[in-house]
Structure 1
Amino acid sequence: MSTLRGIVSLLLLTLTTLLWGLPLLAMTLVKLVTPGHRLRLAVLRVLNAIALNWIGLNLWWMRRWLRPQLEIEVPEGLSRRQGWLVLSNHRSWTDIFVLFFALHRRIPMPRFFLKRQLIWIPIVGLAWWALEFPFMRRMTAAQRARHPHLARRDQEATERMCQRAREMPIAIFNFVEGTRFTPAKHDAQASPYHHLLRPRAGGVAQVLGLLGDQLAGILDVTLHYDNPDPTFWGYLCGREGRIVMRARRLPVEAWMPGSDYQDNPGDKERFHAWINALWHQKDERLSRL
């Protein structure tokens, strides 16, 4: 029965993607030929509205068909008219929909940092490109040292997103570990945390340095699954069990805007200390859960 539920869920997800993907693709073509910055910005607002409707329709059928066991806590005072930085641990593709359940239309249209390979997903990859999601290369420190021009392209993608955020409010979502948690990855990293991988500070630092003065705050999200090995397929089959999402609001500290993570060793050390302390607190919360 759960497998049949999963097949139906995949069919519904495909249908909603086609339903909203086709007008989104049409508006993408319009955006490509639209002259002038202001007009392209207006087209992007239409694309955002289409994407929000796609998300909303998926949440509607998931609530009624999958009935996920969600325990969600979010802070008061969220606004769609202000920018936010959302930081979260990462367990499964299901995380994205849990965040949508909690934050959809409470904060602006989200932007995720995505792996470059995801741009090749039919319809969805082009939609992410049209919506100006930043596509990033997954590189080790050694690879960045050997190919600094590629690392610079990632920085430029973040800069473009931050520049857009100065023109219209967006919510920047960052899975700070850079990949989904597994015990094998945890052991390979020799992670100092019980339930988390090591956080990566670079993207967070760049966003806060460039855009910190424009953000209403930072949302620190902790995700916990009762299932020790959660998968998106298990979620679509309705057998994922209880999922807990806790979000708390943090201020953008005075030293963050204008900081230079790349070229100032003091700023780099400060960001590492800040995010490591944040991750220790998150690890303690996960232990209690």
Structure 2
Amino acid sequence: MFASLPRLLRVPLVVLLLSLNVVVHVLPLFALTLVKLLLPFAAARRACSRGLVAIAESWIGVNNLLFELFTRIHWQVEGLDGLRRDGNYLVLCNHQSWVDIPVLQKVFNRRIPFLRFFLKQQLIWVPLLGPAWWALDFPFMKRYSRETLQRHPELRGRDRDATRHACAKFRHLPVSVMNFVEGTRFTPAKHDAQGSPYQYLLRPRAGGLAFVLDAMGDALHAILDVTIVYGEGPRSMKDLVAGRIRDIRLHVRECAIDATLHGDYENDAAFRERFQTWVNAMWQAKDDQAGRMLEVAGQSIQGG
């Protein structure tokens, strides 16, 4: 509707509306969070949590509407049939850009339980958004590098304990936990530095995924294996706001969680090897899927 407006008018307008949407939803979110913190009864706090999720889903819904009005994105999404609002999912996705987050929110909003991402601890300080993510029970993680653990071995195991603590609150409510298994966004430089065996993906980090599955236990009933590609290649949030993204494709595959995926990744060498084999096989299939999607996207763009 507004996608045909001149860019000098369209971009400031959509930025203004997105900013207003943040304020309109964050203020009642904070107010309800305060009420939740003050209430002494667990049932009342759970009711507040449902209210917080309703506010967040409305926030995402308005964002989705704005992008529909101000952009001309061609969407190709497969595999959404059979998803449940009352399910408990672990959502695994390759990570192309920051645009992945609003894309996943658009596709899954009100189709599955509210999507929560594992976030780096420092993101809690992002103005307005950081406290909002905290209020919505997004799990904040502080991961230690191998070099840090070598210098401070007393920190070993804290990331695993933090994962378990973050997941504990999700064991008794419908939830969708999102994990970017690569741990970082794809760039050609990172791909080359890793010596990644995949053409379109970085190496998956199996340890963090194993910790999440162990922490959630039987609270999860399925994995959603999501492959995301952009027809013109990875794009930035600026590209999204400016309307420079024209083709987004997602493929969703629901997978059962086998009992063999639960185990002690850190101390059981046999389980660790078996789990890595499973993750690598899934990632090879995802790489093949991404290649097929990009080939079709390229044909579509050339034909358009």
Q: Do Structure 1 and Structure 2 share a fold, with TM-score over 0.5?
A: yes
- Paired letter, 2:284: H
Residue 301 (structure 2) aligns with: none
173-182 vs 39-48, greater mean Cα deviation: 39-48
Asked if residue 95 in structure 1 is aligned to residue 108 in structure 2, the reply is no
Which of 169, 175, 185 aligns to 2:180? It is: 175
**How far apart are the structure 2 equivalents of 1:235 and 1:225?**
11
**How far apart are the structure 1 equivalents of 2:93 and 2:86?**
22
Residue 166 (structure 2) aligns with: 161
Q: Secondary structure at the match of 2:289?
A: helix
Which of 258, 261, 267 aligns to 1:263? It is: 267
Identity percentage over the alignment? 47
- Paired letter, 1:102: V
Residue 65 (structure 2) aligns with: 60
Q: Secondary structure at the match of 2:221?
A: strand
**How far apart are the structure 2 equivalents of 1:91 and 1:80?**
26
Q: Deviation per CA, 1:226-279, whole angstroms, max 9, x where unpaired?
A: 22241111011111121111111111012124x121222222222211111111
Residue 82 (structure 1) aligns with: 87
Residue 109 (structure 1) aligns with: 114
Q: Tell me, yes or no, if the aligned pair for 2:204 and 2:280 is still in contact at 8 Å.
A: yes
Q: Deviation per CA, 1:106-144, whole angstroms, max 9, x where unpaired?
A: 100111011112111111100111111111234322323
Equivalences for residues 1-289 of structure 1 within 5 A:
1-2=6-7, 4-148=9-153, 150=155, 152-257=157-262, 259-288=263-292, 289=294
Q: Secondary structure at the match of 1:224?
A: strand
Q: CA deviation at 1:43?
A: 2.1
Q: Tell me, yes or no, if the aligned pair for 1:222 and 1:286 is still in contact at 8 Å.
A: yes
- Paired letter, 1:236: V
**How far apart are the structure 2 equivalents of 1:13 and 1:231?**
16
**How far apart are the structure 1 equivalents of 2:117 and 2:147?**
25
Q: CA deviation at 1:15?
A: 0.8
**How far apart are the structure 1 equivalents of 2:233 and 2:48?**
43
Q: Secondary structure at the match of 1:244?
A: strand
Q: CA deviation at 1:148?
A: 4.9
Q: Secondary structure at the match of 2:90?
A: strand
Q: Larger Cα Rg: Structure 1 or Structure 2?
A: 2
- Give the count of matched residue pairs: 288
Q: Tell me, yes or no, if the aligned pair for 2:140 and 2:166 is still in contact at 8 Å.
A: no
Structure 1: 5+ residue runs without aligned partners? none
**How far apart are the structure 2 equivalents of 1:140 and 1:191?**
19
**How far apart are the structure 2 equivalents of 1:144 and 1:238?**
43
- Paired letter, 2:270: G
Structure 1 outlier segments of 4+, above 4 Å: 148-151
**How far apart are the structure 2 equivalents of 1:151 and 1:178?**
19
Normalising by structure 1, we get a TM-score of 0.93
- Paired letter, 1:272: Q
**How far apart are the structure 2 equivalents of 1:52 and 1:262?**
37
- Paired letter, 2:85: R
- Paired letter, 2:111: R
Q: CA deviation at 1:149?
A: 5.2
Q: Secondary structure at the match of 1:167?
A: coil
After superposition, the CA RMSD in angstroms is 1.8
Change (3 A) 1:274 1:145: farther
198-207 vs 138-147, greater mean Cα deviation: 138-147
Q: CA deviation at 1:158?
A: 2.1
Normalising by structure 2, we get a TM-score of 0.88
Q: Secondary structure at the match of 1:228?
A: coil
**How far apart are the structure 2 equivalents of 1:168 and 1:111?**
13
Change (3 A) 1:149 1:59: farther
